[in-house]
């Protein structure tokens, strides 16, 4: 995308697709893991997807600021627009679930099942309509479960 190309929504979709392409390409691979505070971590997939998303946004909206979960903030503090980027949320933060629920989100496992805690507990959280669409996209992208 070139500077100021498309609407904000089109930029967001293009950026999300760029990040998704990175995540799909890395899915199932052994990934380098980078420890963060509080027992949380990032993987090479987190870093590379965030980079791909950021590059699309920067190309389309060079005057905008971006705050990425892994890379921090770029752009002017007083920028008219700030993009928040977290392409692969795998946080261990149990408070994040409470916050989502308090905001009215539907929160389930990634296949719509009740939440699991501990290792392997992946979460899908969004408003009711977006949550349903998210689960449908996940179903379309994952092999059938045994």
Beta strands in the chain (DSSP E): 33-35, 41-43, 65-68, 72-74, 82-85, 106-109, 123-126
Q: Band the pLDDT of 18: cuts 50, 70, 90.
A: very high
CA 106/CA 97 separation, integer angstroms: 10
Shared domain check, 86 and 103: no
User: Are 11 and 41 within one domain?
Assistant: yes
- Residues 139, 99, single domain; the answer is yes
Do 45 and 9 share a domain, yes or no?
yes
Whether 9 and 40 map to the same domain: the answer is yes
Residue 120 pLDDT greater than 80, yes or no: no
Domain housing 107: 94-146
Q: How many domains does the chain have?
A: 2
Tell me the per-residue pLDDT of 71-115, one tens digit each, with 9 for 90 and over: 888 888 889 999 988 876 655 556 677 777 888 888 888 888 887
The dihedral built from the CA positions of residue 55, 41, 31 and 99, taken in this order, carries a sign that is negative
41 and 66 part of one domain: yes
- Which CATH number fits the domain that encloses residue 23? 3.30.540.10
């Amino acid at each position: 995308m070139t500077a100021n190309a498309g609407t904000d929504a089109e930029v967001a979709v293009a950026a999300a697709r760029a990040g998704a392409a990175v995540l799909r390409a890395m899915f199932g691979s052994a990934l380098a893991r980078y420890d963060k505070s509080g027992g949380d971590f990032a993987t090479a997939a987190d870093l590379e997807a965030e980079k791909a998303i950021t590059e699309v946004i920067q190309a389309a909206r060079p005057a905008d600021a971006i705050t990425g979960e892994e890379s921090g903030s770029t752009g002017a503090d007083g920028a008219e627009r700030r993009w928040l980027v977290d392409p692969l949320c795998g946080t261990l933060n149990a408070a994040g679930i409470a916050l989502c629920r308090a905001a009215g989100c539907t929160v389930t496992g990634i296949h719509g099942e009740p939440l699991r805690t501990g290792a392997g507990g992946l979460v899908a959280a969004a408003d009711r309509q977006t949550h349903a669409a998210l689960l449908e996209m996940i179903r379309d992208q994952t092999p059938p479960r045994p």
